Amino acid sequence: MDDHDFLIKINGEIVYSNVAAELRSKLTGRAMKTYLKSKYQWSDEVFTKIDWKSLEAYMKSLSQQIRTNVHKLRYGWQFTRQRKNLFEIHGKEDLELEDESCPLGCGDTDDTHHFLSCSSQPGFIKSNTELWRLDRFLLRYKTPKPLCHMILTGLRSVLCQGNHVVFCGPSEQEEIEFVAYCDQEEIGWKHFLLGNLSLKWKEAMEDHYAAMAAASDDKLPRHLSAKVWTKKLLCHVLHISLTDGKSVMNSTMHSRLILTTVTNENHYLTRSKRPS
């Protein structure tokens, strides 16, 4: 190095470019980590099992509008009855607040991310179709069958309210897939649908593609890489969640519009019947 050269290190890592962005990331990262751990009740161990780098890379590839929608999805900023009451509770009696039960009649509370498991929402019957498309993607990208089964089973336990399957243990060939499944159990399958994937899924695919390359005389196609696989997986699962969320939002707002219209009509009819 010349006398006038210098290196910038943050937490022991050399920053080669975009220093401002790296500084901003490090300065806000600790506060965000504390917030997420508190919000989702994750331990430090669970937090480090999430593939944050792949999620960050995927988010950067999105347009501003879609990125905003994904952020609203991930942090539970969509409209719900519970959230509506939270902002309207000041100065109101309990009887004046809106019922927090699901407006679509499933019987559960309409709280954050309720739409992911709501059995009455219009998108619920489409869940199997969405999972079929996800299955097609996994097979097209040469995903090992045990890993496909684990991912689809975990998602069905949320989206289709299916029986939760607990795998008894891995065979020697399935060791890393089983670890990925166990890590995702700790993180939560609902969080899989919000983009919080276990790091082990990507590592399992890295090992799988490396084994495929070693067994082949030809170079693997460019799309058969763990990086591309993870990005495509994030795209699929977040699409499922955004679609379900929009479906519930439209139905909820539509039902509220009908209720408001009927109430106004009844009020008008009542007034018109009064003697002049």
Residue ranges covered by each domain of the chain: 1-41, 44-273
The predicted structure's pLDDT at residue 38: 86
What value does the mean pLDDT of the chain take? 74
Q: List, for residues 86-108, the tens digit of each pLDDT value.
A: 555 554 544 444 566 666 656 66
The predicted structure's pLDDT at residue 65: 87
The predicted structure's pLDDT at residue 266: 42
Q: Evaluate if pTM is beyond 0.75.
A: no
Q: What percent of the chain has pLDDT over 90?
A: 29
Q: Are 240 and 130 in contact (CB under 8 A)?
A: yes
Tell me how far CA of residue 264 lies from CA of 99, 209, 269, in angstroms.
20, 62, 9
The predicted structure's pLDDT at residue 186: 94
Q: Is the pLDDT of residue 260 over 50?
A: no
Burial class (CB within 10 angstroms; exposed 0-12, middle 13-18, buried 19+) of 186? middle
Q: List, for residues 115-169, the tens digit of each pLDDT value.
A: 566 665 555 556 677 888 899 999 999 999 989 999 998 888 887 665 555 554 5
Q: List, for residues 179-208, the tens digit of each pLDDT value.
A: 999 999 999 998 998 999 999 999 999 999
| Cα 156 to Cα 162: distance, rounded to the nearest angstrom | 6
Q: Are 178 and 170 in contact (CB under 8 A)?
A: yes
Q: List, for residues 230-252, the tens digit of each pLDDT value.
A: 999 999 999 888 876 555 555 55
